A and B are shown apart, each in its own frame.
Chain A
Amino acid sequence: MQKKNMRRAPLLALFLLWAGTWALSAQAAVSVQVLDSAGQPVPNAVVYAEPAGGGGAIKAARQVEIEQKNKTFIPLVTVVQTGTAILFPNHDNVRHHVYSFSPAKTFELKLYSGVPGSPVVFDKAGTVVLGCNIHDEMVAYVQVVNTPHFGVSERNGVVKLDGIANGRYTLKAWYFTMGPNQAAVEQPLEVQGDGRAVIKLNVKAVPL
């Protein structure tokens, strides 16, 4: 019985792939290369595209996790759409006291261990800097954006924005060394099917 089910799974995946391809046929994918002032690729940069008309399609909010492991927030940089709930599971055997004084989201998860009961909902766009009150060196950044088109650059400094409809956008990039109060770098983006874009930040890339 189980064997039968397993044989059926690839079939399901094949279907989904097909369905996806169909759906994507109307939407493009844009690959954005983030470079620093020296022309080097910048990993961990937050890139997002806001539709020129304002107000993007509401994407189903799904829960995101920022775990604490080895007294470090993982990942360092997270980008979420407004209204996303973020869970802070503690995988260390010490407690953490996660807080944020950032205006976009001020909260405090007092000393806890394991997975807290409820996630924190980030319902306001802006930069939220997370810290641990008892581990000063712990830091994490959450960029809350008003668009479903966002991503964090890979090691090669490339962010792939999928499922983006053709149209005019404002492409924005933010890097954590820019400080919480500094506005993201922006530039216009015209999407006509799959494409490429390069955005340059006036920062120095921090290697991973």
Chain B
Amino acid sequence: MRLYRLESKIVALFIILIVVVQLAGFVAIRTAIDRNARSAISEELIIGERVFTRLLDQNAQKLTQGARLLASDFGFRQAIGTDDRDTIASVLANHGARIGATMGMLVGTDGLIHASTLEYPDTDLQRSSLELVRKAGNGNGAAESAVVGDNLFQIVAVPIKAPVTIAWVVMGFPVDRDLVNDMRALSQLQVSILVRQRGSAGWTADVSTLPKAEAQMMAKEASSPQMGQAGATDLQIDGNQYRARVLPLARASNGQEAVAVLQRSVSEAVAPYQRLQLILLSITVLGVLGAAVASAVMARRITSPLRDLATVAKRLGEGDYSEGLYIRRQDEIGRLGAAFETMRSEIASRELKISRLAYQDQLTGLPNRVQFGDLLREAIGQAQALPGGSCHILMMDLDRFQQVNDVLGHSFGDDLLRQVAARLAAQLLYPGAKVARLGGDEFAILLPGVDLDGALDQAAHILRALEQPLSLQEQTVDLGAGIGVAGYPAHGDSSEVLLSRAEVAMYTAKRKGNGVTIYDPAIDQSSQESLSLLSELRRALERDEFMLYLQPKLDLATGAVVGGEALVRWVHPEKGFIGPDNFIPFAETTGFIRMLTIWMMEKVAGLSARLQAQGLRLKFSVNLSTRDLLDQELPTAFGAILERHRLTPAALCLEITESAIMDDPARAQSTLDRLAAMGFALSIDDFGTGYSSLAYLKRLPVDELKIDKSFVMKMAQDQDDAKIVRSTVDLGHNLGLRVVAEGVESEEVWFLLRQMGCDQGQGYFMGKPMPVERFLEWLQQWRAPEMLDQSENVAI
């Protein structure tokens, strides 16, 4: 049986424990009782032996007294003195009967039997008597036990004095049942007297307190070799266990023997303890039951709150935080319950916060895109439930918001968005309509159960409301908006489809500048194309259709190759070679550019590591887009790539266009600071084409300026361009930056640039962008033009 429940385990443990303890105690007590009983029996037997010996002695003394009394009778002595044998015999019989002797004899000092109560005295008896007389000698009498026939006798001999010893009286007394019964009454022992005849191996029972049959069995048992010698032995009689002690009583010179066997029933001695054991057993049973009940109660007290906690935990797992669990206890379980309760309320409040973050736009407090999606799904569900039910959404994008943001700053932009949100919320025509901010300056309005006309009414209403200029921080802003409309069931039956179609309609409206546009499958074609382009780009990345191109970058003074700019080309499996202008802007708007940047970094790092291993130390540049700069994760991702290739950031240069920086200067700066801190060299690309302030540039952690190729290409012909280049070079040097010229397409330009002190250059004159393998071949062939001497002669 396996115990899966804690409760059963606890109960089982308790029961096993108590059973083991009780069992051990029971066994120990039982053993002790047995041992004690046995030793008590042994003691009893030893004492019994002493008592029995004393009893025999006393008996003998009593007999001796009797005999002595007889011996001192004057008449008797007179009879002996006159040798009146008949009289002597009758006196012996008469006086013997008085003291219970069954036989009497007169033995002369000559050692002959002069008279006897038995007509033919047993030879055994004669011999024993004469032996006894001899033993008494000059003493005052003697007594001993002797075997006569099959019986044990106590015989005594006393001298007859007149006044010197003239004869001996010998009297014999059978050891009878009375004696053993006396012994039994005194000691509770069973007493048997066994006799063994000369030459016989077995004993016969003479008298015994045992029933006759048992006495015979005992006699048979006693014939076994270990019996017969003194000491305690075990006896098995009729299935009962006895402990016995053998007491030698008589051993005649002819080999006749008599012993007394004292025995005590072991089971009798153990009997009083059996009651005790029974009591112990019942205590054990009660203890086990008690332990079972107590442990079950205790286990229940432990496990039932645990089960409740498990139930609540399961509910928490399912997202139900409503109901708590209150365990009013001071112990560990109570504390666990309290901790659990705290955890439940904390999780509940945290989830509320998380869902607010997830479903609410933090700026305006309106539902965000996710929540709007949910609401829309709900509305579609409701509409589906009604025959002819419908719902519509409006999607709206503010015109010129980017410019406002750029010009008036982000906080102004945020305020503006809040104002717009408030105004939209105030313009809702239908109960149940909801405004949401989908992101940036994009808003959406859900109109559940509203038909197309109603939706158009609402759209017109909003446009009218937006015509009112917004006053904000003493500025007045004119806002326009494009609104796209899509609805169920006309344009789709899922929230995703409706949202994307409303968006398509909205872009169309903005493009046309006509305010409100209802979705039309026709206008969706173009958006389908761009969607397919994005998925193609993704696939291209998976299938490795992009190729890394490198354009060499040289030191203008020495003509040595210092590195290259990394560029990307797309080799489309069907459309063939696709130039960067055809997909980079799209990638930038969709954000795909970030994946492309990572891809570039990976490739360039791999190449760089490969070349470094060959001893070529070239510094490659990777372009970063606006999106990249806004991506806070970028430095970490770059760091991971470099680490994988065991490169230091110093081996790479990152190029950023001015416009990319100026989209969100604060975030761009923080990203650039982190990259610079990592050790990347930073370069401002296309310098001269943007609107960056020098004051801002000064703060950027850049190392290099790249003069836009539009100035460089024509600088040999155009004096203005040449001046711009020259002053830019100076500007860069003065700011402590390295200056690189792009678009070097002729030897002439090279020299001009060198004269101006420009540090490095790149352009078709040195090399076009080329695949990596070609670039490596080019590296081998490249020889700097041998016109370094002429440089001095060229006039500016």
* Residues of chain A whose beta carbon lies under 8 Å from any beta carbon of chain B: 99, 101-102, 106, 129-133, 136-139, 179-181
Asked whether, in the complex, the Cβ of B163 is within 8 Å of the Cβ of A106, the reply is no
Taking CB atoms, residues of chain B closer than 8 Å to A136 are: 72, 161, 163
A101 in contact with B78 given A136-B72, A179-B109 (CB within 8 Å): yes
Q: Which of B70-93 contact A (CB under 8 A)?
A: 72, 74, 77-78, 80-82
Q: List 15 A-B contacts (CB under 8 A).
A: A99-B78, A99-B162, A101-B78, A102-B81, A106-B81, A129-B162, A129-B163, A131-B162, A132-B163, A136-B72, A136-B161, A137-B163, A139-B163, A179-B164, A180-B166
CA–CA, A131 and B82, complex, Å: 15
CA–CA, A101 and B84, complex, Å: 12
Choose among A101, A132, A138 the residue that contacts B81 (Cβ–Cβ < 8 A). A101
Residues 130-166 of chain B, each 1 if its beta carbon lies under 8 Å from chain A, else 0: 0000000000000000000000000000000111101
Taking CB atoms, residues of chain B closer than 8 Å to A102 are: 81
Residues 155-185 of chain B, each 1 if its beta carbon lies under 8 Å from chain A, else 0: 0000001111010000000000000000000
Taking CB atoms, residues of chain A closer than 8 Å to B78 are: 99, 101
CA–CA, A139 and B163, complex, Å: 6
CA–CA, A139 and B166, complex, Å: 13
CA–CA, A132 and B164, complex, Å: 11
B79's nearest neighbour on chain A, judged by CB, is A101
Given contacts A136-B163, A180-B166, 20 further A-B contacts (CB under 8 A): A99-B74, A99-B78, A101-B77, A101-B78, A101-B80, A101-B166, A102-B81, A106-B81, A129-B162, A129-B163, A129-B164, A130-B163, A131-B164, A132-B163, A133-B74, A136-B72, A137-B163, A138-B163, A139-B163, A139-B164
A180 in contact with B82 given A101-B77, A136-B72 (CB within 8 Å): no
CA–CA, A180 and B81, complex, Å: 12
CA–CA, A99 and B76, complex, Å: 13
CA–CA, A184 and B163, complex, Å: 20
CA–CA, A136 and B78, complex, Å: 14
CA–CA, A200 and B78, complex, Å: 35
Taking CB atoms, residues of chain B closer than 8 Å to A130 are: 163
Taking CB atoms, residues of chain A closer than 8 Å to B109 are: 179, 181
CA–CA, A96 and B72, complex, Å: 16
**How far, in Å, is A138 (CB) from chain B's closest CB?**
7
CA–CA, A138 and B109, complex, Å: 20
A136's nearest neighbour on chain B, judged by CB, is B163
CA–CA, A96 and B77, complex, Å: 17
**How far, in Å, is B330 (CB) from chain A's closest CB?**
101
The 4 closest A-B CB pairs, nearest first, are: A101-B81, A131-B163, A139-B163, A101-B162
Taking CB atoms, residues of chain B closer than 8 Å to A133 are: 74
**How far, in Å, is B106 (CB) from chain A's closest CB?**
14
Asked whether, in the complex, the Cβ of A180 is within 8 Å of the Cβ of B163, the reply is no
Taking CB atoms, residues of chain B closer than 8 Å to A131 are: 161-164
**How far, in Å, is A206 (CB) from chain B's closest CB?**
13
Query: How many contacting A-B pairs (Cβ < 8 A)?
Result: 35
Taking CB atoms, residues of chain A closer than 8 Å to B74 are: 99, 133
A134's nearest neighbour on chain B, judged by CB, is B74
CA–CA, A167 and B161, complex, Å: 41
CA–CA, A106 and B166, complex, Å: 14
* Residues of chain B whose beta carbon lies under 8 Å from any beta carbon of chain A: 72, 74, 77-78, 80-82, 109, 161-164, 166
A97's nearest neighbour on chain B, judged by CB, is B74
CA–CA, A179 and B138, complex, Å: 12
B72's nearest neighbour on chain A, judged by CB, is A136
**How far, in Å, is A109 (CB) from chain B's closest CB?**
13
Taking CB atoms, residues of chain B closer than 8 Å to A180 are: 164, 166
CA–CA, A102 and B163, complex, Å: 11
A139's nearest neighbour on chain B, judged by CB, is B163
Asked whether, in the complex, the Cβ of A106 is within 8 Å of the Cβ of B164, the reply is no
CA–CA, A129 and B80, complex, Å: 14
Taking CB atoms, residues of chain A closer than 8 Å to B164 are: 129, 131, 139, 179-180
Taking CB atoms, residues of chain B closer than 8 Å to A132 are: 163
CA–CA, A105 and B45, complex, Å: 58
CA–CA, A130 and B162, complex, Å: 8
CA–CA, A130 and B81, complex, Å: 12
CA–CA, A99 and B78, complex, Å: 9
Taking CB atoms, residues of chain B closer than 8 Å to A106 are: 81-82
CA–CA, A101 and B161, complex, Å: 11
CA–CA, A30 and B164, complex, Å: 32
Taking CB atoms, residues of chain A closer than 8 Å to B82 are: 101, 106
A141's nearest neighbour on chain B, judged by CB, is B164
**How far, in Å, is B75 (CB) from chain A's closest CB?**
10
CA–CA, A181 and B165, complex, Å: 11
B74's nearest neighbour on chain A, judged by CB, is A133
CA–CA, A129 and B109, complex, Å: 15
Best-buried of B78, B109, B162, B163 by chain A (most CB within 10 Å): B163
CA–CA, A99 and B80, complex, Å: 13
CA–CA, A102 and B164, complex, Å: 11
CA–CA, A161 and B652, complex, Å: 170
B81's nearest neighbour on chain A, judged by CB, is A101
CA–CA, A132 and B77, complex, Å: 12
CA–CA, A106 and B82, complex, Å: 9
**How far, in Å, is B276 (CB) from chain A's closest CB?**
62
CA–CA, A47 and B81, complex, Å: 26
**How far, in Å, is A46 (CB) from chain B's closest CB?**
15
CA–CA, A137 and B72, complex, Å: 12
CA–CA, A117 and B161, complex, Å: 28
**How far, in Å, is B109 (CB) from chain A's closest CB?**
7
B80's nearest neighbour on chain A, judged by CB, is A101
B162's nearest neighbour on chain A, judged by CB, is A101
B110's nearest neighbour on chain A, judged by CB, is A181
B163's nearest neighbour on chain A, judged by CB, is A131
Taking CB atoms, residues of chain B closer than 8 Å to A137 are: 163
**How far, in Å, is B169 (CB) from chain A's closest CB?**
15
CA–CA, A133 and B164, complex, Å: 12
Taking CB atoms, residues of chain B closer than 8 Å to A129 are: 162-164
**How far, in Å, is A182 (CB) from chain B's closest CB?**
10
CA–CA, A192 and B161, complex, Å: 44
CA–CA, A130 and B161, complex, Å: 11
**How far, in Å, is A134 (CB) from chain B's closest CB?**
9
A132's nearest neighbour on chain B, judged by CB, is B163
CA–CA, A101 and B163, complex, Å: 9
**How far, in Å, is B684 (CB) from chain A's closest CB?**
158
Taking CB atoms, residues of chain B closer than 8 Å to A138 are: 163
